[in-house]
């Protein structure tokens, strides 16, 4: 007997989800969509608060792709207007507001990055500034009347800040209302988000009812821990792996996570089946070195966001530099001219900047203090240190970044 198509789709949607609210409504929507031969409109919003999409974002993006593979349409909202406000979810204080120029620059990178995962043919990309920016004040007052302060204070983060006497701006109260209004404007059937978005997603159901629409079903997904294994992956916390990073960096960062966190990454990011992942865990429990499975995961993710050839090269590089403790034969070169030298030496901070390894003097000082900088095998511990530059010398930052120094102007110090 053929399996019910709705049951088949629900089985896919449930995998990896924390909650589906309410399941019965989603099943009813799926049944109606199949009967009418139309796709569900599955909404997901991302505020371009930073230029890079990281692996944490790929958890909901992967679920969106599953919806697409089931025949549904993803409505991807770039929150260029809401980013000006800043989502207060999970925040213990008011966010710094971004400038319009920062938001615009970040938004430009988003589409290229999301289509590393989503199907362009089944994706509708919209900017919420298209409907939020033109709103007149009477319309904003009307939207604000759709929720109470008591309802807003049901949010854990708002309630905690209120109890502690920390400021909550009226602007932050507007954010979940605007997110809910997005659902009205795109006529969302389903919305996806992390568990930290639960309040906003539920409020959007109420806003849709207020505007005479059937409320969306919601699917919440787990938050991916960053490479530190403690806090959720975030660019601002520096514990992220960006999908547009070089394959070597993706591979190396995955290899840096703990053995236990590796299995969490497998569950949320890998395309291996649950039985295959369980078999891997059992192998390691029986004595297989976890690095074997960690390299498989690092290769899978590096290949997904570049290609198999580059992922294989990243793996070879990792094995050469980290497992065999060798300096790679090939690395980027930095030319050091006479004008940069004084008596054949250069301040280590200037050399790091010249090599493009750090964006600022402050970052250079931080890396030196961490003991992450060496030149020709000698660790540099003082940020005021002078380095005698050699032709064919090796500058190293951290575990994975190398530069070979070349002297220009005919001088060779070996």
CB 406 within 8 A of CB 336: yes
194 dihedral zone (left: phi>0; alpha: psi -120 to 50; beta): beta
DSSP letter for each residue of 4-63: PHHHHHHHHHHTT-SEEETHHHHHHHHHHHHHTT---EEEEEE--SSS--BHHHHHHHHH
Q: Give pLDDT, residue 53.
A: 85
Q: Give pLDDT, residue 328.
A: 74
**What are the beta bridge partners of residue 345?**
342, 388
Q: Give pLDDT, residue 93.
A: 44
Q: Give pLDDT, residue 80.
A: 86
- What is the mean pLDDT for each group of 10 consecutive residues in the chain (414 residues)? 87 93 96 96 87 87 95 94 68 55 77 87 94 95 90 82 85 90 98 93 95 97 92 83 91 92 94 92 92 95 94 90 70 88 90 91 89 86 88 85 81 49
DSSP letter for each residue of 63-83: HHHHHHHTTPEEEEEE-TTGG
Q: How far apart are CA 221 and CA 44, in angstroms?
A: 12
Domains of the chain (ranges; CATH) run 5-221 (3.40.50.620), 247-323 (no CATH), 333-407 (3.10.290.10)
- How many C-beta atoms lie closer than 10 Å to residue 233's C-beta? 21
Q: Give pLDDT, residue 92.
A: 40
Q: Minimal CA–CA distance to 297: which of 62, 117, 67, 55? A: 55
Q: Give pLDDT, residue 409.
A: 64
CB 88 within 8 A of CB 95: yes
Which residues does 126 contact at the CB level (< 8 Å), separation at least 6? 75, 76, 77, 78, 186
Per the structure block, which two tokens stand in for 284? 């390691």
Q: Give pLDDT, residue 172.
A: 84
Q: Which residues of 77-93 are buried (b: 16+ CB within 10 A; e: fewer)?
A: bbbbbbbbbbbbbeeee
Q: Minimal CA–CA distance to 46: which of 243, 210, 229? A: 243
Per the structure block, which two tokens stand in for 151? 């309802």
What sign has the CA pseudo-torsion 233, 236, 242, 245? negative
**What is the 8-class DSSP label of residue 341?**
-
CB 402 within 8 A of CB 328: yes
Three-state DSSP at 379 gives strand
Which residues does 281 contact at the CB level (< 8 Å), separation at least 6? 263
CB 217 within 8 A of CB 31: no
My answer on whether omega of the bond before 22 falls inside 30° of 0, hence cis, is yes
Q: Give pLDDT, residue 299.
A: 96
Counting Cα atoms < 13 Å in the Cβ hemisphere of 331 gives 24
Q: Give pLDDT, residue 87.
A: 57
Residue pointed to by tokens 């709103």: 135
Q: Give pLDDT, residue 91.
A: 46
Q: How far apart are CA 412 and CA 351, in angstroms?
A: 17
Q: What is the 3-state secondary structure (H, E, C) of 302-330?
A: HHHCCCHHHHHHHHHHHHHHHHCCCCCCC
Please classify residue 3 by burial: count the beta carbons closer than 10 Å to its beta carbon, then call 0-12 exposed, 13-18 middle and 19+ buried: exposed
């Amino acid at each position: 007997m053929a399996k019910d198509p709705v049951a088949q789709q629900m089985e896919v949607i449930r995998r990896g989800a924390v909650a589906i609210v309410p399941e019965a409504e989603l099943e009813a929507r799926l049944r109606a969509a199949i009967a009418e031969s139309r796709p569900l409109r599955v909404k997901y919003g991302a505020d371009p608060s930073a230029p890079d999409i990281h692996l944490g974002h790929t958890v909901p993006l992967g679920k969106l792709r599953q919806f697409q593979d089931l025949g549904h349409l993803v409505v991807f909202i770039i929150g260029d207007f809401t980013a000006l406000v800043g989502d207060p979810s999970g925040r213990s204080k008011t966010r710094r507001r971004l400038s319009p120029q920062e938001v615009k620059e970040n938004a430009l990178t988003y589409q290229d990055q999301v289509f590393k995962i989503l199907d362009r043919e089944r994706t509708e990309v919209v900017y919420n500034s298209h409907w939020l920016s033109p709103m007149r004040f009477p319309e904003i007052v009307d939207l604000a009347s759709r929720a109470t302060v008591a309802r807003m204070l049901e949010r854990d983060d708002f309630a905690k800040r209120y109890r502690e006497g920390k400021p909550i701006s009226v602007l932050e109260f507007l954010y979940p209302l605007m997110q809910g209004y997005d659902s009205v404007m795109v006529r969302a059937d389903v919305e996806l988000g992390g568990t930290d978005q639960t309040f906003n997603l539920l409020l959007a159901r109420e806003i849709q009812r207020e505007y005479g629409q059937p409320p969306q079903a919601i699917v919440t997904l787990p938050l991916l821990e960053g490479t530190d294994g403690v806090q959720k992956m975030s660019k601002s916390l520096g514990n992220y792996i960006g999908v547009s990073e070089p394959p070597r960096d993706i591979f190396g960062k995955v290899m840096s996570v703990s053995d236990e966190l590796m299995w969490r990454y497998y569950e949320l990011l890998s395309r291996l089946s649950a039985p295959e992942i369980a078999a891997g865990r059992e192998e390691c429990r029986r004595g297989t070195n976890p690095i074997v499975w960690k390299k498989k995961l690092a290769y899978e993710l590096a290949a997904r966001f570049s290609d198999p050839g580059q992922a294989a090269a990243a793996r070879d590089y990792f094995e050469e530099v980290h497992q065999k403790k060798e300096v790679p034969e090939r690395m980027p070169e930095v030319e050091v001219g006479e004008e940069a030298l004084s008596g054949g030496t250069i301040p280590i901070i200037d050399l790091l900047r010249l090599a493009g390894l750090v964006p600022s003097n402050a970052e250079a000082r931080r890396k030196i203090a961490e003991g992450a900088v060496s030149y020709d095998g000698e660790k540099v511990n003082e940020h005021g240190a002078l380095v005698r530059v050699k032709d064919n010398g090796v500058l190293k930052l951290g575990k994975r970044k190398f530069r070979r120094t070349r002297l220009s102007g005919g001088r060779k110090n070996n």
